[in-house]
Structure 1
Amino acid sequence: MDDLTFVESTLPPDGNGRRGQYLDLVVGGASLRSSIGEDLLVWASTPLQSGWDLESGLTWLTSLSRGRQVSLPAGRVALYVCRECGDLGCGALSVNIERCGSVVRWTQFGWEDDLDDKPWSAIEFPLEFTFQASAYDQTLRAARERVLASQSRTAPTGHLWWRKPGFVAIDL
């Protein structure tokens, strides 16, 4: 069985030299970002990024638990999204998550956006991970507690267009 953890990571510099803190996915002791390819994901982050909406991050953790993300056309779950806006129009690395008894499986990794008629396209090399459900759920609960403990209220400023008054952000 594989194991899942979250580790605080720093994004590589974007085109403007900005970096950001986020919680990265680690499977079997290796960053999933590195396993997929840093060059393929230089534009991406998990939704657990400093300065991002707390509620969206918590919703994402719930989608990892339930194996379905309502906002994705194929009912899959986005693992990495645009590091600037998180919008599906920019693309996402998504996965199919299945629960079967005491196991959770991640299969059919692929690229997805809401611009094409095709729901998603497979990555070049097949990946599949199997987790013990109880350990997987505990990891998601721990990540949720960590994100909740990091929250901060912030003014609606900056390049993140979705910030509104009273915005509660993740603050890693």
Structure 2
Amino acid sequence: MDIAPATARAELTFRDATESDVPALVDLVESAYRGDASRAGWTTEADILQGQRTDADGVREVLSAPSGKILIAQRDGEPVACCQLEHRGEAAYFGMFAVRPSLQGGGLGKVIIAEAERTAREDWGASEMHMTVISVRQELIAWYERRGYRRTGKMTPFPYGDERFGVPQRADLAFELLVKAL
């Protein structure tokens, strides 16, 4: 029996992010995806993208959107994970998902995504969760598929030339839409 998610949930508190959380959120997201620090976890994009994953303006934009929020998971008052949720009618969008690299692989991500799904379903009445994942991230896509997400084959081009999203290290990047019924 896998008890990690139950254990992880018991130690966590969840809350909506505020403006004062912006620096900590930028650090958390950057540490999970970019640079050498991200290599401590398995979600790193350091080999396919250099540069930034997000910045303070990007986080503020999500926080100021009337239909969205960033959910923070804390342990002992410190942010250990986060995700963006955006209400889009019948669906909710899930993004900016980050777990501190040193805590990855222990079931925390499962707990966070379950809380995001519960929030979207109960608070917004969403019937589906949508997300986009870089299509070459096969291990990450497989992880989402094990959580009930399905690949749609719907692709969106990667924003090459817009360094707010990073500096691509390969020419075949695109985002694939994954969907889960809630």
Quickly name the TM-score band, shorter chain normalised. under 0.3
Give the structure with the higher percent helix. Answer: 2
